[in-house]
Amino acid sequence: MSHIDHTHDPKAQSWVASANTAGTDFPLQNLPYGLFRRLHSNESARVGVAIGEQILDLKLAAALGKWSSAVQVLLQPLAEGDLNSFMAKSVAERRALRHALFDALREGSAQAGALQAALVAQGAVELFVPCKINDYTDFYTGIHHAVAVGKLFRPDNPLLPNYKWVPIGYHGRSSSIVASGVPLRRPKGQLKPPTADVPVFAASKRIDYELELGLFTASGNALGEPIAMQDAEQHMFGLTVLNDWSARDIQPWEYQPLGPFLAKNFGSTISPWIVTMDALEPFRCAFERPADDPQPLPYLDSAANRAEGGYEIELEVWLQSAKMRAAGEPAARLVRSNFRHAYWTLAQMLTHHASNGCNLQSGDLLGSGTQSGPKPEEAGSLLELTQGGKQPITLPNGEQRLFIEDGDTVILRAFAERDGARRIGFGDCACTITPAL
């Protein structure tokens, strides 16, 4: 599976100076795709590639650059603002464009003079959800989250019997997915407090974040035709950071017997950049189950998946209250976890989703589920951090939180780093909760 090439060379530099800065999310080795529009303009949204503090406008790049005829064909849908059509192309074609963009942006490239005019500062644009999301499914692959939450409700039996056998998921709502920076309103719903005889309709008092990654599918499959494990990676385009917001006081009343509904679909936030699977090649890791756990059924297993189906991606949660923001105080980091703790791999999620013949489409989003680590300080939600809303956390300015309050901004961040590879990041996944109507 692993495919390391010259685009992963950690010593490679770009003629875009900000891409060479230590700690940048967007060095030459990353080149994630997004959708943007210049501020105060009437232009249609267009596809770009993040490079340092700049964005390469692919509409302008297609017109100004000197490309081979094959690369021009690959750039065409991107120049038209249609990322989905490009995502549906083959791995070889997607990789060929990565190579062409890498070479064009590399230090010493003959393209530098022509493409300079295709750059726009990230601070001068509005960023959108990066592609058309046809469908959204959220999985539950974070076993440490599943155990911690299960213990709150079933102390003696936190995991349900199927958890270690099947990648659990539910169908979410793509229409309420927003890009980083878009505020979300506190939802109302039916609540039934433990001491009440009847439910009430009121604003949620237990808004919670969920620290996740989201997988964007590449090419889809025909209805009725499953995707085999050995083919799964051909259908994986890239990853984004995902905050699958939850209303914890609406959720327990409504989710029985059919699962999550209004407690989840009032909004989900994603980072605006899709980091391609090619960019993440240096950060693969082995996928291992404890020896005494059930091993995956054959349709969810392969030697390649066991050898390098996992990914080492650091995940963080930051919070800035309205009071902190007014005082000019920065956001505070609450937790740090890692995607390597996931109980199911991306390939297993995708394969299982299509195993019954479900037809995935280019641009479908598959959420990983909350990614908590084995330690309490690696909890990927406030539900875990506060022990079900019983133990408040204290922010640096002395404020306390059980759940998210109006005016709070939650920022999720992700990055991958390893010796022998250039650090790459995903950009912020930020959202502020505003008061209910």
> What is the set of active-site residues?
145
For residue 24, give every residue at least 6 positions away whose Cβ sits within 8 Å of its Cβ, in sequence order, or none. 18, 52, 53, 425
> Around 52, how many Cα atoms within 13 Å sit in the side-chain half-sphere?
17
Q: What is the DSSP letter of 35?
A: E
CA 399 – CA 317 distance, rounded (Å): 17
Short-list 283, 203, 274, 262, CA closest to 237 = 274
What is the largest distance, in Å, between two alpha-carbon atoms of the chain?
A: 73
Rg (CA), the chain: 22
Tokens of 88: 């549906």
Query: How would DSSP label each residue in 37-77?
Result: EETT--PPPEEEEEETTEEEEHHHHHHHS---HHHHHHHHH
Amino acid occupying residue 164: K
